[in-house]
Copies of this chain bind each other. A is one copy, B any other.
Amino acid sequence: MRLVSSLPRDSQVRIMENTVANAEKYFGQFCTLMASYARKTAKLRDKSDLLVKQLIDYANTENPELRSTMKNFAEELAKVQDYRQAEVERLETKVVEPLKRYGVQLKQTQAEIKRFNKVRNNEIKQLEKLERLRQKSPSDRHTLAESNVHKASVDASRTTQQLEETIDEFQKKKLKDIQKIFSDFVTIEMVFHAKALEVYSSAFQNLDDYDFERDMEVRGLETHHSIRTLVQPCRSAELKTCCQHLIKSIPLQEDTPHINPVQCQLCMCIVQALAHFWPNPGDA
A272 to B243, Cβ gap below 8 A? yes
Closest approach, in angstroms, between the C-beta of A127 and any C-beta of chain B?
A: 30
Select the stretch in A107-115, A137-145, A151-159, A196-204 that faces chain B. A196-204
A104 at the interface (CB under 8 A from B): no
Select the stretch in A5-13, A118-126, A128-136, A186-194 that faces chain B. A186-194
Known contacts A175-B66, A239-B273, A269-B239: A183-B201 contact under CB 8 Å: no
A43 at the interface (CB under 8 A from B): yes
Total interface residues on A, using CB and 8 Å? 106
A231 at the interface (CB under 8 A from B): yes
* Residue in contact with A33 in the complex, picked from B47, B240, B261, CB distance below 8 Å: B47
Copy tally for this chain in the complex stands at 2
A264 to B208, Cβ gap below 8 A? yes
B234 to A236, Cβ gap below 8 A? no
* Residue in contact with A264 in the complex, picked from B22, B205, B248, B261, CB distance below 8 Å: B205
* Residue in contact with A41 in the complex, picked from B44, B195, B204, CB distance below 8 Å: B44
A34 at the interface (CB under 8 A from B): yes
A267 to B274, Cβ gap below 8 A? yes
A264 to B194, Cβ gap below 8 A? no
Instruction: Give me 27 A-to-B residue pairs in the complex whose CB atoms sit less than 8 angstroms apart, sorted by A's number.
Output: A26-B58, A26-B61, A33-B51, A80-B189, A172-B212, A175-B215, A179-B207, A186-B200, A190-B197, A193-B197, A194-B274, A195-B271, A198-B267, A198-B271, A208-B264, A234-B266, A236-B242, A238-B238, A245-B276, A247-B271, A249-B279, A249-B280, A251-B280, A263-B277, A267-B274, A270-B273, A270-B274
Residues of A within 8 A of B (CB): 22, 26, 29-30, 33-34, 36-37, 40-41, 43-44, 47-48, 50-51, 54-55, 57-58, 61, 66, 70, 73, 80, 168, 171-172, 175-176, 178-179, 182-183, 186-187, 189-190, 193-198, 200-205, 207-208, 210, 212, 215-216, 218, 227-228, 230-232, 234-240, 242-251, 254, 257-281, 284
